[in-house]
Structure formats: structure tokens, C-alpha cells
Chain A
Amino acid sequence: DIQMTQSPSSVSASVGDRVTITCRASQGISSWLAWYQQKPGKAPKLLIYAASSLQSGVPSRFSGSGSGTDFTLTISSLQPEDFATYYCQQANSFPRTFGGGTKVEIK
């Protein structure tokens, strides 16, 4: 199974800050990686797919990069509605696996 390791597990940031979250796969997954945002009590929402493609309707302040084993989600200028938990997920093979999540909190 492919293990997905996210860091940090939590980050405190202010509105307007640039936030970077990393995700590492235990083996190469090419660009078969997605990022999801989840707010408390809500279902996850797809933000980025294929490592760097922005899902329709997602603000352009979100961006993804990387390939192989190392990936990054960047929020260029944090907005109040961005405080949430973010998960990476690999779709290279079954079983699908998620990272442990990164909680973005208000500083």
C-alpha cells in the first residue's frame, strides 16, 4: 500500500499569509494526487486534481505542484473561509490512501 504523509499536521496563520502544505508518497505516484478541503461538519471538497489542476470553481489562490513522491499545496493569500483541514490523496493504485490531514487554524 502507498502511504501518504502530510506535514505539518497543523499550522497557525493569519489572513493574507502564504501557507504551504506538503504531502509525501511512500513510492512514486506520478501526478496521481488530489487535494481536498474539509470544514467542520461538512463533506470534503475537491480542490486540486492531477497534482496541479484546479477544480472548477476553486479560487486561483489555491495551487498544487509536484510529481513522483513530493507534492505541495499552496494558498497564496489566506482568506477567512480557508480555515479548514486539508487532505492529500493518491489515486495511482488501490487501496486509495489519504494523508493524515493538515488543520489550518487562525493565528
Chain B
Amino acid sequence: EVQLVESGGGLVKPGGSLRLSCAASGFTFSSYSMNWVRQAPGKGLEWVSSISSSSSYIYYADSVKGRFTISRDNAKNSLYLQMNSLRAEDTAVYYCARDRGWNDPWFDPWGQGTLVTVSS
């Protein structure tokens, strides 16, 4: 069964840092591009970042560029999001999602999400 499990969320003060992880299983992780998408409480979905299978291509939303870093470890079947200089507006549930396939850039499946709360 294909599964994505996020971890690392929690409460952090403005200006602080947090590292999210996404553990993948049930598929050949190294063959797929991966993504982070977030959802602020009561709001819609916002794409955050994407990374290609070999980490050759990385993209960020303007809202997080320069503060967040996406990475992956194909040997550990894991995706990461290092979040620095956190702001109140970064408060959200963060989902990791796999691309459906090669040149198949649809988000499927998704993890269950991990909540990040930025507050003093």
C-alpha cells in the first residue's frame, strides 16, 4: 500500500525553525517527484514546494522562498521541509504529496498532514 506519513509539526515561536519529515512506503520513492502543500485553518490549499526525483529541480512558492528548504533522502525514502524564520501566516496543516507519475504532475496520494502553529 502506498503511504505517506508526515511528522515534525508543533508549536513554534515567530522567527523560529522547524523541520518536517515525510516517510514514504509502498512505492519506489526515488522515481517520483514530491511536493509540500499547506492549508491554513479554515482556508484553501496552497502549494509550497516541489522537488524532482533526483533533486535536480526544486521550486518554491514566493511566500516561502528564502525561508524554506525542501530536500529528500532517497536512501531513507524520506522527504523534508526545513522551515526557518517562521511567521504567524505559516500556521497551517502541511501535507506531503507524491506526483502521480513521471510527467504526471497530479498530487496523488497525500499524507494525513502535520499541523504547524506559529505563535508566541
Contact = CB atoms under 8 A, between A and B. Distances in A.
A and B interact: yes
Interface majority SS (helix, strand, loop, mixed), chain B: strand
Contact of A91 (B37, B44, B106): B106
A49 interface: yes
Interface residues of B, number: 23
Contact of A97 (B47, B95, B109, B112): B47
A55 B59 contact: no
A99 B109 CA distance: 19
A49 B112 contact: no
Contacts of A50: 106
Nearest to B58: A94
Contact of A46 (B100, B111, B112, B113): B100
A71 interface: no
- Bin chain A's interface residue count: 20 to 34
Contacts of B59: 94-95
Contacts of A45: 108, 110
Interface of B: 35, 37, 44-47, 50, 59-62, 95, 100, 104-113
Given A34-B107, A44-B37, A45-B108, 14 more contacts: A43-B95, A44-B107, A44-B110, A46-B107, A49-B106, A49-B108, A89-B47, A91-B105, A95-B61, A96-B47, A96-B50, A97-B47, A98-B45, A100-B44
Interface of A: 32, 34, 36, 38, 43-46, 49-50, 55, 87, 89, 91, 94-101
